[in-house]
Each structure stands twice: as structure tokens, then as C-alpha cells.
Amino acid sequence: MKVRIYLAGAIGCYGVGAEYPKLWRKMASEWFEIYSGYAYDYDFYCIDPTRYYEYGRDYHKSEKEVMMFDLRKVESADVILVNLKDIEKSPGTIDEVFDAWKNNIPVIGFFDTENSTEGIELHTWIRNQIDRIETGENAMKKAMIYIKDYYGESR
């Protein structure tokens, strides 16, 4: 069984050439790769939007092209892993969460902080469109373990 995970989160608000949007997605992709096929009957495939378009480059003809491409990738996913850091600055991420919710695709969010919910302010509608939110230290890892355990196994 192949489990497609779309890696949603802010990109453009960090500016041209920013490493953070690529770094956390690379870490997630590598983590899920460990569990693909090895002693398991399922494979994980991470859909990383930073592999396709990069802010500051002119790979695309319009912003609509990027939006439609990303939303189609969301709709092709089995589950969404969303980094909630700076989501309020990322209309694209908000649209991806909404599109997943509208299409009944599970959304698992994370917000890495030292304190459990300090610094996270989500509009009620956004919070209600996310199935589960992990916060605190190692929130991303906890969210990935949840996806592996609940969406990866053939139960």
C-alpha cells in the first residue's frame, strides 16, 4: 500500500532562497523513507511542493499555475502533514488545509515549541479543519509517528 503524504506549510513568507521550508520537508521525507518497505507492507511517499516551484525563480507562467498544481497534489494525497509555523502569513497553506478538509483528506498539524501551545494562534475555522495537532518539543516527530501508526498500517 502506498501512502501519499502532502507536506504543507509556509514557503513564500520566508523570502527567496529561504532554507527552512525545504529543511523540515527534507527531514520529514527522510524520516518516512526509513519506514517505506522495510519490514512493513506499505510505502510512504512525501509530496514536497518545494521540489516543483521555488520562489524567486520563473519556472511558472502565473501564480494560478502554482496554486492549481499544489491543490491537485493535495487532492491526490492520502494525508496532509502541515507545519503550522507562520500559517497566518501563508494563504496558500490555509487553502491547502481547507481543500484537504473539503475533500475528506486527514490533516495532521504540528507546531514545534518548548511549551505545549505557546505561540500558536489559529483561527477557529482552521483549527476545526485539522484532525490532530501536535505541539511542544518534537511535535513534528510526534505527528509523523501518528501518521505512520494510524494511516500507514493495514488495519
What is the structure's pLDDT at 134? 96
Domains of the chain: 2-152 (3.40.50.450)
In order along its 155 residues, the chain shows pLDDT tens digits of: 789 999 999 987 777 777 888 999 999 999 998 877 655 567 899 999 988 876 666 677 788 988 999 999 999 999 999 999 999 999 999 999 999 999 999 999 999 886 555 567 899 999 999 999 999 999 999 999 999 999 986 54
What is the structure's pLDDT at 130? 98
Taking CA atoms, 151 is separated from 17, 69, 91, 95, 135, in Å, by 33, 24, 27, 23, 20
What is the structure's pLDDT at 155? 44
What is the structure's pLDDT at 132? 97
pTM value > 0.85 = yes
Q: How far apart are CA 65 and CA 71, in angstroms?
A: 10
